Structure 1
């Protein structure tokens, strides 16, 4: 068993020499990384080994011709097949997670599993920012104590622009990673003023997962090089502040939980301004965005803290909170719905860019309700591609469009001290329902729409990636292949284990027998029994054909003066045993192939069920693009 990761103890932090160097503490199981290459490769190797061992078990225990399974053999084979399928699913999931960064440790995985019970102790108590009654005169000056040492992230010979730091927020007490991207040629003393885009990850997620999903570095640099936006800094904080926040993330401070609201609204801007002194000093240069639940949090945060952010870049968000403390009861949901907050909470002028695909069922409420709730002081650009679902492929395609939109807004920045909107509890008039809308059908990834009518519904059920017919069929295939891997095969099969072991023994030195000993005696010429007092007569020498004798003579090593030994000819008995082993290995290989196909079908069945529940991929092509990126 490999050693667990080690962490330096407190005395060792002061000195790495002498006896203190042996004072190491093992990290708990919950802190083991599930994105480390050693973990991902290790679980893949274990899955392959278990699959091979299961094939050998099936070969050895499930013999052909039996009308009933031995109970022990059946149970052992069944457990081995199930274990193999679980490990294969785990290996595929670990590879995808390592690329997309959903969860980082075993503790994060357990937190996701226990997510539904995160608020079982009682109703959530939120601590919300006070509603503004006046315009702030200026942003707080950065404090030297907020500065963090960002370490560049190497990417070979290519310039990545990424750096990261582990930060402890002075106001929230949260300790987490913060990633930052700076454009090529950036210098703190270059005389420029850099706008900032803060991007929030989804649930589950991480900063590195967002950078991979969006291809953020290349998209940012391309937008800057093309002149679509000025040089800017991208910031991505980790929101998984504790196990409850990992399981059901919040945007607000929740009593008894990590204060992630203060972390995002106050600590991160203070850390960025102190660490990058030439960033924009006020809201006119600050945008907040995100994907999925991070998109909801970005819009919610901008409304609550319009003194800190002037722009919103949200992809595949939703109107009503569905996770975290805000989703625990009807009152909290209603009070924190985005369309309600836009009407009822006073805030400075906001400019919002929202993207929500029409085939993403989770964003239907956002597409329907948010445009009509925008007050006259705000603007909204709602982009609604026909297809794309809730996928990283869509986010990657539309992120450059969002950057271009932000670049246009920065040409005439939002005012740092814009007047507050006037709250109203009334539903907006029909004249406002189209306020601020444009480009709804022009987003990258827009398609021709789905088929309609009975034939279209039939095709969707039996060919669509979310179709229940496809899911049932894949489950049946997985079950049938699993049964085929376990069941005896009539008309074929394998010799018993003892015969196979005898075959292996025949290849060992000193155990080889002649080919004549293996061949059965002829029926027409029964072998004579030799006695001790009657020596066996030498068999008559058969005449050898002339051509064969010449051929044999030509291959024999000639005698020379140095007396070299003749070349030994292959032992026909040993060759016969090798051929027999090869013939016996073919059925084992066939059973291994069936077992591997059963594992693939089982993995696909689980993935299809998860996709139907989560509503991530609407089409096979988008799913293949995302999976190809994740499993590459």
Structure 2
């Protein structure tokens, strides 16, 4: 049974309840002062506490999608990442569809009515990075009258560690986009949903790591090329946006600022503005001061030509640690008089899915007004 299985969660909860009841029942028998009784009490308390913590941890993982599998949890997830090139010379498709599914909460089974979610594997031709993703295709994509139409695309990134599945199930990007389009609040668009951690378990912070994964190049070039090779989308940056939460928000802003000829607009939900260095990232820069500076968005705004792109950032006055940094970032962007900046500032809201679900409808509407279809 998988880490995210409901059966695992139910079994953990039942086990914790049984242990708790057993501890209460056996406590009088372990009330003596012998070392066996003391050891028994300690053992029962420890096992019960561990069972309770496991239940809470599994429930939290179900709610927030931190880890997708047991291997992912224990840092053994290495099936995706930098791979040996198996499409050399242009052979094969850079996007392989693994499975298809319906959009949750949408009635009707036909794609031209309900749209479709495709589970895909994407391979970067230049970076040799392979990454799984979910692609949402709106109903309009399948309708006969739109056969010649090219749709705008938004790349959607999770936080770290995060799972792409959580973008579909927990943050509900496809159903939200479809509802907004149906009500006329947003134009139909394709969503490419994935993790920014394309070389798990490492968190590369969307950096082209010297001697390591070229993550920034993957998102700025390879991902676009792969999607264009498979779907009816336009190559001009005016048709491309990128959005993410937390680490994904930082990546979205950075990639759009570094590559305005790839993305016309970016949204950072609860982002930070400088790549951290910690045990999950390892040495990202290998002593390259320019690479380290470019990973600091404040430095980019101060020392490089302002990019012609549109940015949206979000935060909360109470509950988000990035609030002051976000206000400073807004001011820094305004000072450029070139880059356009918008914001969503909530009165309160923590760094969690519930907060981002409150921001996603407005963020998608904002993206929809800045991207064009052909």
Matches within 5 A, 1:578-597: none
Q: Relative to 1, partners in 2 of residues 1:255 and 1:327: Cα closer, same or farther, differing over 3 Å?
A: closer
Structure 2 residue 131 is matched with structure 1 residue 176: yes
- CA contact under 8 A between 1:319 and 1:363: conserved in structure 2? no
- CA contact under 8 A between 2:344 and 2:359: conserved in structure 1? no
Structure 2 residue 59 is matched with structure 1 residue 95: yes
Distance 1:386 1:60 in 2: 53
Matches within 5 A, 1:382-393: 382-393=343-354
Q: Relative to 1, partners in 2 of residues 1:57 and 1:249: Cα closer, same or farther, differing over 3 Å?
A: farther
Structure 2 residue 327 is matched with structure 1 residue 372: no
Distance 1:195 1:201 in 2: 20
Equivalent position to 1:349, from 300, 308, 312: 308
- CA contact under 8 A between 1:321 and 1:327: conserved in structure 2? no
178-187 or 103-112: bigger deviation: 103-112
Distance 1:334 1:262 in 2: 17
CA RMSD of aligned residues (A): 2.9
Q: Relative to 1, partners in 2 of residues 1:61 and 1:163: Cα closer, same or farther, differing over 3 Å?
A: same
- CA contact under 8 A between 1:252 and 1:259: conserved in structure 2? yes
* Aligned counterpart, 2:46: 82
Equivalent position to 1:409, from 352, 359, 370: 370
Distance 2:349 2:221 in 1: 34
Matches within 5 A, 1:448-487: none
Distance 1:94 1:36 in 2: 9
- CA contact under 8 A between 2:95 and 2:227: conserved in structure 1? yes
**Post-superposition offset of 1:222:** 1.9
**Post-superposition offset of 1:223:** 1.6
Q: Relative to 1, partners in 2 of residues 1:255 and 1:383: Cα closer, same or farther, differing over 3 Å?
A: same
Runs of 4+ in 1 over 6 A off after TM superposition: 327-330
Q: Relative to 1, partners in 2 of residues 1:57 and 1:167: Cα closer, same or farther, differing over 3 Å?
A: farther
- CA contact under 8 A between 1:181 and 1:233: conserved in structure 2? yes
Distance 1:50 1:400 in 2: 43
Equivalent position to 1:205, from 155, 162, 167: 162
Q: What are structure 2's unaligned runs of at least 5 residues?
A: 77-89, 108-113
Matches within 5 A, 1:104-503: 104-111=68-75, 145-154=93-102, 158=107, 159=114, 161-187=116-142, 190-245=147-202, 248-276=203-231, 278-323=232-277, 324=281, 325=283, 334-346=293-305, 348-359=307-318, 360-374=320-334, 375-410=336-371
- CA contact under 8 A between 1:166 and 1:178: conserved in structure 2? yes
**Post-superposition offset of 1:90:** 1.0
Which has more strand, going by share of residues?
A: 2
**Post-superposition offset of 1:337:** 1.5
Distance 1:109 1:283 in 2: 36
Structure 2 residue 7 is matched with structure 1 residue 50: no
Q: Relative to 1, partners in 2 of residues 1:298 and 1:176: Cα closer, same or farther, differing over 3 Å?
A: same
Distance 2:95 2:121 in 1: 11
* Aligned counterpart, 1:510: none
Deviations 1:200-239 (A, max 9, x none): 1102211122233432122201221122221101111233
- TM-score by length of structure 2 reads 0.82
* Count of residues paired in the alignment: 344
Name the SS for the 1:357 alignment partner.
strand
Distance 1:346 1:143 in 2: 39
Distance 2:91 2:193 in 1: 20
Deviations 1:420-473 (A, max 9, x none): xxxxxxxxxxxxxxxxxxxxxxxxxxxxxxxxxxxxxxxxxxxxxxxxxxxxxx
**Post-superposition offset of 1:402:** 1.3
* Aligned counterpart, 1:15: none
Distance 2:256 2:371 in 1: 17
Distance 2:47 2:131 in 1: 36
Distance 2:28 2:261 in 1: 70
Distance 1:257 1:108 in 2: 20
Q: Which has the higher Rg, Structure 1 or Structure 2?
A: 1
- CA contact under 8 A between 2:205 and 2:275: conserved in structure 1? no
Q: What are structure 1's unaligned runs of at least 5 residues?
A: 6-32, 113-141, 414-632
327-336 or 381-390: bigger deviation: 327-336
Deviations 1:541-590 (A, max 9, x none): xxxxxxxxxxxxxxxxxxxxxxxxxxxxxxxxxxxxxxxxxxxxxxxxxx
Distance 2:264 2:157 in 1: 16
**Post-superposition offset of 1:259:** 3.2
